[in-house]
Structure 1
């Protein structure tokens, strides 16, 4: 079988983001036969529909990486009961222009880390609503909502909480399985 290429999207710009740390942990936990590469959203300009027909080079590269991936793993923080503006902005860019969404039929999964007790539950709910519009088949279970993140990572950003590591392994296994049974359309141009 071909190796499954998963693109992990870091939904936070913060240097010491727990979501970045969680996605780095996921890189260590990815099942055999799959690889997880991370992309950060630094430098992507605010979406402007006036520019969608000639997007900036950084947006074209972002879309290229999405299209090249077999599956997407979102690492989302929770800001004001929702996902980050930078993540929503990147999703908007990659969905445009109309009819050329890079997200179409791309298998996906969501995880998130927060210092709060709900572990990004509300952000994940909103992100799922957005991804429905992109017709992305999504892993529904398990849900990985890392609460009280400051206690689950060490000073160097390593995930030390074994139950959380096991939960991420299960999420990755489900995503790889979904990618194998529901591969994105390779003929799509954009």
Structure 2
């Protein structure tokens, strides 16, 4: 399992997208909106369609923290990082990766305010922001990309919490994504990503 660095869930949510597939979908539907989430909020039928088509997978209502992301691809045996405890595990999500062979973990703010960058297949963004009482400049990553070969994948999502807490609470959590190339994967994302049925917020995790 590989640590790919921090991800900032600005806007209290994140989504996993294959940027070229979502871009082609928006083009085919002649969607010219500048703010993707606002558009989807007004056209929920299209939002549901993108999820059911495997083009867009959002996870709602998660704390606006700097999560450490861990990735595993086609490993037979996967152990979670030894410095973390597993809080929850959801299995068998569906993901299609397009010709770009690039996947983006996008915060809700990135989806809302930087759709132009998504349409340019830009999967990474770094913000330099003054932080704390001394306004120390720190890096925040509202979009993080990884290379993933074209294909159909099933994956598990694991919520992680540090065993030994850092003083800064926003850095005590992480997500692990365990991908497996699976041509037979079934897309049940619409049900599995229902935040009224499942909780994806590690800090305030509860079972419904």
Question: Common fold, TM-score beyond 0.5?
Answer: no
**Higher fraction of helix:** 1
TM-score by length of 1: 0.29
Larger of the two Rg values belongs to structure: 2
**Higher fraction of strand:** 2
